[in-house]
Amino acid sequence: MKNQKLTYRFHDPNPPGVAVAYLLKVLMEVNAPKVEQAIREAMSAGEAEEKIEQESQEQDEAVYEPEEFEEEEESLSQGWEMSMTT
């Protein structure tokens, strides 16, 4: 026996714009949990990036403090001058 191919036909008496709006509404409702999850993941990823940036800025500030370097340079140059005169 030969398998028959099923063919479906839908008759929609509404104008195409109404049908599209209805389909869009249905698809949005169905995919709402996925969209919410994607938003949550994006927010947590953004927060993680902000935290990493903030930590790296804090480390950069801790490593580079111009005032300390100026004081060290002065003491080194004074020590060099003292050793040259003696």
Q: Along the 86 residues of the chain, how does pLDDT read in single tens digits?
A: 678 888 888 788 889 899 889 888 998 999 999 989 999 999 888 888 888 888 877 777 666 555 555 555 555 555 555 555 55
Q: How far apart are CA 28 and CA 35, in angstroms?
A: 9
Q: How far apart are CA 67 and CA 1, in angstroms?
A: 92
Q: With contact defined as beta carbons under 8 Å apart, do 45 and 37 qualify?
A: no
pTM value > 0.85: no
